[in-house]
Amino acid sequence: LKAECKGSSQISCGLLVKINRAVIKDLAKFLKDKFNVYLTSISVIHEPQGSSKATILYCYKSFAFDYNFNLYIQVEIGKAIHVISSISELFPAALSFEQRISNTENINFVRTEKKVDRSIFCNPYSIYPQNVEINLLPSGIFNNIHANNFYFEFEAKNGVIKHISLKDGWLHKKILNKLNSVDLKSACDLIEKIDPLSNVHFKLGLVLCLEELLSIDTSPKVNYIRVLLAELERINNHLVWFANLFDLINYSRTFVLLYEDWIKLGKIFESISNDRFLTQAIVLGSSIDILSKDAYNLRQSLKALINHAFQAIHRDLYQGYTKKELNCGTLSMEEALLLGVSGPNLRGTGYPFDVRYFDSYLNYIKHETSQVWNVVAFDGGNGFSRAQVRLFEIQQSLKICDYILDSLTFYERPVSSEEIKWKKLKIPSDKNIIRHLESPKGLLTVGIKTFKSKSKRSDYQMFIVPPSLANYYALDSKILLNEKIGLIPLIIHSFDLSFLNLDL
């Protein structure tokens, strides 16, 4: 066993194993109870396609002593890496415990020569993203596009955070600059590239602004299909969020189940729009069409799939262990309102604000649609409350989708296929239009301002305020302070941040 000393305050050591993707919370609990060692991150070093086995790096931290140290599952002897066959070689007291969980959880320890990147030995107060090849996160805190960045630096005392330094601006996508330097048609295509899990809402926000600006009317069927697409995206986002939650707390069976359901949901999306993330499903003045003969089958398959996922999430979310794990990152209703937090993070404090209801757009509170869904809110203000909101929002979104698809079953008139002639559009000057939407992550604001340029033609400027922006800075102002370092991944995940949105 090799220990690396980096000054008097840090020790890093490790042990690498090859292991099935299995439930390992019992092993983590053993290390926590016996040695005050906490699991903080999991990285997949190698996972062959189509295989259930993977080489995984588990990173543990201990705050039991006067110094802090990282424990990686890796042993290095001389120039070669030799992997031990049992965790009990490192902790002899774990032998009987390990044998029991090996039998019940199908965990196998085998030797491997795979060498681990030395960069994993990092500052114990810097959280770095997981690099999982089965990557369910198209955006967010653990996205592999951020693999070389450290977002949060902490000063801690006895393992409790006392000061936070946030970092942003690392992506430099400059989407806003590009939006304001291209024509309107290109802007509509570009805005869909901001966030794969919210592209319907980003596109919808811009399209609604342009339709108001250009006085373009849409048919009732188009409005209903847009509501359907928005709620399908909300379900998709929350399903991804829960899959990653259960992966974080090592409910691997539930993670795999939700991952499989997410793949099936993607196939449903492809069947109606030819795209996994519903790209190009909404266009200026129109949307994709869903014919009456297809609506019935879509309704049945969607209900079966989402109800299956809902039941699995509900079962494991309301276990005592899960509720205890998520009792962190507490935010009061007053603090949330003061910090500008929105979406499930705000409703998780008990404040039932939802843009779809209070500043309605499309058909959310028109006709019978208003009777089939409710705004979901839970008291508590912690990670568990935020999870409850997302769980039952899946249920409410399914009710909306079910109602719309049932209505479309009897709607024979197709959506018009006539395309907008972009070159013939005349943009009025001196207009300022703002639209607010309830995206899956919270309040999304999209606006466009027009004015006369020196060339005697109308010009425009767009702006976007994504929900992750206010939610991100709430972490710095309140959420992470006085929390244990080992809880950081769960707290950050509970806020459903999209780092792709923070440097537009």
| Per-residue pLDDT reduced to its tens digit, 119-139 | 333 322 223 333 333 333 333
**How high is the pLDDT of residue 122?**
30
Give tens-digit pLDDT for 376-435: 999 999 999 999 999 999 999 999 999 999 999 888 788 988 888 887 888 888 888 999
Which has the higher per-residue pLDDT, 103 or 290?
290
**How high is the pLDDT of residue 301?**
96
Architecture of the domain spanning 175-501: Orthogonal Bundle (1.10)
Distance CA 57, CA 461 (A): 47
Confidence of residue 115 (pLDDT cuts 50, 70, 90): very low
Query: What mean pLDDT do residues 338-357 have?
Result: 93
Distance CA 360, CA 354 (A): 9
Confidence of residue 38 (pLDDT cuts 50, 70, 90): low
- Is residue 40 within 8 A of residue 61, CB to CB? The reply is yes
- For the purposes of burial, counting CB atoms within 10 Å of the CB of 44, is it exposed (0-12), middle (13-18) or buried (19 or more)? middle
Is 150's pLDDT higher than 70? no
Q: Which phi and psi (to 5°) does residue 442 adopt?
A: 140, -160
- % of the chain surpassing 90 pLDDT: 34
Query: What mean pLDDT do residues 34-51 have?
Result: 50
- Is residue 227 within 8 A of residue 250, CB to CB? The reply is no
Q: Which phi and psi (to 5°) does residue 33 adopt?
A: -70, -40
Task: Average the pLDDT over each of 34-38, 63-67, 101-105 and give the range with the smallest value.
Answer: 63-67
**How high is the pLDDT of residue 100?**
58
**How high is the pLDDT of residue 455?**
64
Provide the 8-state DSSP code for 479. Answer: I
Length of the chain: 504
Angle at which helix 220-248 crosses helix 252-273, to 10 degrees, equals 160
Is 144's pLDDT higher than 50? no
**How high is the pLDDT of residue 55?**
44
Distance CA 349, CA 360 (A): 22
Dihedral over alpha carbons 179, 182, 185, 191 (to 10 degrees): -20
Q: CA distances (Å), 207 to each of 175, 214, 367, 377, 482, in order?
A: 17, 10, 23, 29, 43
Is 190's pLDDT higher than 50? yes
Confidence of residue 116 (pLDDT cuts 50, 70, 90): very low
Confidence of residue 319 (pLDDT cuts 50, 70, 90): confident
Which has the higher per-residue pLDDT, 473 or 493?
493
Query: What mean pLDDT do residues 355-378 have?
Result: 89
Query: What mean pLDDT do residues 25-48 have?
Result: 53
Dihedral over alpha carbons 391, 396, 397, 400 (to 10 degrees): 170
Is 349's pLDDT higher than 90? yes
Residue that the structure tokens 């919370």 belong to:
25
Which has the higher per-residue pLDDT, 177 or 454?
177
Query: What mean pLDDT do residues 310-335 have?
Result: 89
The rounded mean pLDDT for the chain is 74
Nearest to 396 by CA among 443, 349, 347: 347
**How high is the pLDDT of residue 165?**
64
Distance CA 44, CA 51 (A): 13
Is 473's pLDDT higher than 50? yes
Both ends of the chain: CA-CA distance in Å? 46
Hey, which of 79-88, 233-242, 404-413 has the most confident mean pLDDT?
A: 233-242
Hey, which of 43-57, 72-86, 98-112 has the most confident mean pLDDT?
A: 98-112
Which has the higher per-residue pLDDT, 28 or 339?
339
Is 348's pLDDT higher than 70? yes
Q: Domain locations in the chain?
A: 3-124, 175-501
Who's near 133: CB < 8 A, 6+ residues apart? 44, 46, 47, 54
| pTM of the predicted model as reported, rounded to 2 decimal places | 0.71
Show the beta-strand stretches assigned E in 116-203. 152-157, 160-166
Which has the higher per-residue pLDDT, 306 or 476?
306
**How high is the pLDDT of residue 14?**
39
Who's near 12: CB < 8 A, 6+ residues apart? 3, 4, 6, 69, 70, 71, 72, 121
Task: Average the pLDDT over each of 39-53, 66-80, 82-96 and give the range with the smallest value.
Answer: 66-80
